[in-house]
Structure 1
Amino acid sequence: MDKSFYIANRKELYSRVGESALIVLLAGHAPRRSADAYYNFYCNRNFAYVTGACDATTQGFIFMAEKHGEDVHETLFILPPDAHAERWTGRRMKPDEARELTGIQDIAYLSEFETRFHKAASAAARLELWTDIDRLSFAEADNESVEFTNRALKAYPALESHNLLPLLKSMRTFKKPCELEAMRKAMTITREGILDMMHASKPGMYEYEYKAIFDAALTRNGVLEPAFQPIISAGNNNFCIHYYSYTGRAQDGDMILNDVGACWDNLGNDVSRGFPCNGKFSEKQRLLYTCAYNTSNYMFSIIKPGMPMASVDQTARRYCFEQLKGIGLCDKYEDVGKYMWHGGAHHVGFDTHDVVDMAHPVAPGMVFCVDIGIYCEEWGIGFRLEDNCLVLEDGCENLSRDIPRSIDEIEAEMARR
């Protein structure tokens, strides 16, 4: 992604905070796994959205911006050179590289942060402190941003604490053209991985073999990490919505469920396809898949600006109920929860379940998933049909339409094995 994208994001963010404000965003650190082993570093997505600095070399980076009226001074604090550490963990980003990547001109080392923060926090009688307060629940342990905020307010009680998250959610709700370009590129790679799984599929394959095939497609295209951990399952394992074991073996007649996505320039996809491991839908598989397919097509025919986001899920459930009723599985609407276990729409972007303004009606520039999952335990059939929907001025576009969706398309593709 060109640095102009991140520069524009920062300018928009500055326009949304007060006249006297201090913004601090943290890239974060990889948590310790065990002994001296650590999980791979995954940069805070809001930090990535604002700076563009988010690869493995950016662990521990801090972004700070001081705003006084129309004047804004922004600083990126990076790791200092350390020849010994770099022998073990790789070369560190240089100041000139950080400037070129982010468009931030003032690059300082992390050792300077506390001194610079003290000077900024003490410079005005009234100053807003804007940090990223992102937590899933009251009981959740404090993350680095919350810990920093608490420490800063204790040291400088005159600061007025404000949460950046609602502002960033509002900004991330709408994808800019360069984001859509990255998502389209990622989709071509996602498509390749799904087609490769279809072409290789046969009874007796293990789930980890399907995963290896998908992972290989991403790696061939320079994607070293997927948008999220792939969900790939067979048979009864499809009844675990978030299944990550990959140890099951496909039996003749089983459906393969895959919920996968590539990532390009920080932007990801989230696509699900269900297909029979032997390449041919059974009668009952056809009945259920047709319910999901008809529901998905209906949703893409009606999604347009102005719809409440909540109605996307509600409408999908109502329409799918009528489909399931038509094949004799549901008598009344209250029964649909037996077969539809999760919501039918979520935004996608920098995060797979993107953090956005969920109260905002459907509007041009939004990208969200239309996710129709049907789980029929009495028939032993479970799958999802999940596509990525880009909202246009007068309707919507299915970004994943080129990945086989219909029964005929899937069977024809699998016949090429």
Structure 2
Amino acid sequence: MKFKFTLLGLLLLTINSVLAQIPTDYLSADFHKNRREILRAKMPANSVALVFANSIRNRANDVEYVFHQDPNFYYLTGYREPNAVLVIFSDNQTNEKGETYNEVLYVQEKNQRAEMWTGKRLGIEGAKKELGFSQAFNGIDFINSKMDFKKFDNVFIEKFNDDHRNSNKDKADVFDLVKSFKMASGYNPDIFLSPTKKYVYNLIKTTPIEKRVELSAKIKTYLSYYPELQDDKFIADYLKTDMALSSKDIQENAMLALQPKTNLDIDFLPSNLATMRETKTPAELKLLTKAVRISAVGQIEMMKAMKPDMSETEIQGIHEFVYKKYGAEYEGYPSIVGAGNNGCILHYMENNKTKVDNDLVLMDLGAEYHGYTADVTRTVPANGKFSKEQKEIYDLVYKAQEAGIAEYVIGNSMSKPNQVAIKIINEGLFKLGIIKSVDEKHNYFPHGTSHHIGLDVHDPGNYNMFEENMVVTMEPGIYIPEGSKCDKKYWSIGVRIEDDILITKNGPKNLSEEAPRTTEAIEKMMAKKSVLDNFLLPSLD
């Protein structure tokens, strides 16, 4: 049989071949559209919301960091490129052609030369076809649109961190998009009160005038800790001893200060997106579960491969190799591999100890798969066997974790697992003689146990009650650094056990349970042969 290939046929074969090599399990355009619809339904009439993409970050000279999209922007669009802005309207708008629309995505422009260096861009047509936007334009069109933001009752944005670098190569990068918006909207950062200022203003508003002397003394103490309060006119006026205002006048002034005259709002989007993101849809759970299981397999393979002569960096590399083998694009956060005393540094990231010896090795790592990030920690003895003291501390942390996980029940307070863990750990530390009483204040367990995971390793949320389809970590720990006020036999022992727990109608489900957690199961796993046992590289000395 003979085949006759036309130019178009060859092109289609090439496209199909390329597409076959690209992951197909990303979130669908319908998922992102649904998220936008939910957000729009929360918006009051005559309002508009703007969400900007992340900017490109410079690593050094002309080298950039691998681009990572802003999680909220990705959540609402599925767009994975920089230099873009999403505009969502509460009400239908009409363009010059008489067409109605309620959202617009502005993307980075197609550029043949740029794409030759840094890869294909979706462009306008790609945004329409692949992301499902009926209205898509280039970023420069946003700048040239001269959109009248003053006509809206509310303009919802996220707080600008002003850390965007301006590129001379692109006239519509995020720097330019944000600058254009600020000019068009009359943005002034001074109109937004920090949480500290809001707190002090509310104190002034609610404190009776007869308590003014005591409150003034308290505020003066705050001034030494929070420099942002020192130049505040409202606070300065309140502190003046000759300010002869009634309690009613003070309250009215406070109300005015708390409600600046602007239609710009930086609270609506973070608050509502946090509520939306803290519970996961089935599509999200599929990706997040895969990220967690990849991370658990990384822990398993490292347990089998662990040797006392390994470096922290090598251990990190094996974890991350497993991630890449499964197609995880990134690590969800900088990998933490701390041996011995390094394991007592909560967010230790140097990972440069050249030999882990016979210490405990704390491995806190998580794969990011299609945007969703796991967070799994295991602590193992480098030589494969826990010493008596290591086992005592480890078993105490495990006991606290098991009791905490049992509290991951719909309707329970999210603070309950932490309270349970603190009680168990304090009782255990007292029994071991490490603290003098169960009520002694100490830093051996200095952090909380529970945070949401998702598009961020510390995903936003309201942290009130457990709800179905939340995924929350449970991570008690004990850290006894060298020089601690206890028996030296416990020095340099740092233990953290962290699992990712799905809240279900039938109780908690540990998504990372396949990575061993008990001392017995860890030792048994570490006794197994590793596929890397014979992976030997030539010496470079």
When residues 224 and 173 of structure 1 are mapped into structure 2, their CA distance, relative to the original with a 3 A threshold, is: closer
Following superposition, the deviation at residue 356 of structure 1 comes to 1.3
Give me the whole-angstrom Cα distance separating, in 1, the residues matched to 2:271 and 2:187.
25
Write the mapping of 1:361-380 to structure 2, written as runs, cut at 5 A.
361-377=465-481, 378=488, 379=490, 380=492
Q: 1:271 & 1:69 partners in 2: Cα distance?
A: 45
Which amino acid letter does the alignment assign opposite residue 61 of structure 1?
A
Task: Tell me what 2:365 maps to.
Answer: 260
Counterpart position of 1:402: 514
Number of aligned residue pairs: give it: 405
CA distance in 2, matches of 1:357, 1:365: 14
Q: Computing the radius of gyration over CA atoms, which structure comes out larger, 1 or 2? A: 2
Which residue in the other structure is 1:74 paired with?
103
Partner Cα distance (1:142, 1:187) in 2: 31
From 149, 155, 166, the equivalent of 1:121 is 149
Whether 2:348 is the aligned partner of 1:243: answer: yes
Residue 30 of structure 1 corresponds to 56
After superposition, where does 1:27-176 map in structure 2 within 5 Å?
27-54=53-80, 58-68=81-91, 73-116=102-145, 118-119=146-147, 121=149, 124=151, 126-133=152-159, 150-154=182-186, 160-163=263-266, 164-176=269-281
Provide the residue aligned with 1:416 in structure 2.
528
Distance 2:337 2:276 in 1: 32
- Flag the 1:272–1:128 CA change in 2: closer, same or farther, 3 A: same
Structure 2 CA distance for aligned equivalents of residues 24 and 16 of structure 1: 14
Instruction: Kindly state the Cα deviation for residue 297 of structure 1 after the two structures are TM-superposed.
Output: 0.7
Give the Cα separation in 2 of the matches to 1:253 and 1:134.
47
Deviation sequence 1:130-167 (CA, Å, 0-9, x none): 112276xxxxx567698666434317999611231111
- Deviates further, 372-381 or 202-211: 372-381
- Greater mean alpha carbon deviation, residues 246-255 or residues 15-24: 246-255
User: Could you tell me how far apart the structure 1 residues matched to 2:441 and 2:524 are?
Assistant: 31
CA apart distance, 1:72: 5.0
Q: Could you say what the CA RMSD is over the residues aligned between the two structures, in angstroms?
A: 2.4
Structure 1: which 5+ runs fail to align? 136-140
Contact persistence 2:426–2:439 (CA under 8 A): no
2:297 maps to a residue whose letter is E
Greater mean deviation of Cα atoms: 318-327 or 346-355:
318-327
**1:383 has 2:409 as partner:** no
Identity among equivalent positions (%) equals 27
Preserved contact between residue 307 and residue 361 of structure 1 (Cα < 8 Å): yes
Measured in 2, the distance between the counterparts of 1:321 and 1:170 equals: 33
Equivalent position amino acid for 2:475 in 1: D
Alignment partners' CA distance in 1, 2:101 and 2:412:
38
- Do the aligned partners of 1:250 and 1:256 also contact (CA within 8 Å) in 2? no
Equivalence map 1:188-207=2 (5 Å) = 188-207=293-312
The separation in 1 between residues aligned to 2:467 and 2:30, in whole angstroms, is: 24
What secondary structure is seen at the aligned counterpart in 1 of 2:364?
strand
Post-superposition offset of 1:205: 0.6
Instruction: Tell which has more relative contact order, 1 or 2 (C-alpha 8 A, sep 6+).
Output: 1
Alignment partner of 1:318 out of 398, 423, 440: 423
Deviation at 1:22, TM superposition (A): 1.4
Give the TM-score normalised by the residue count of structure 2. Answer: 0.70
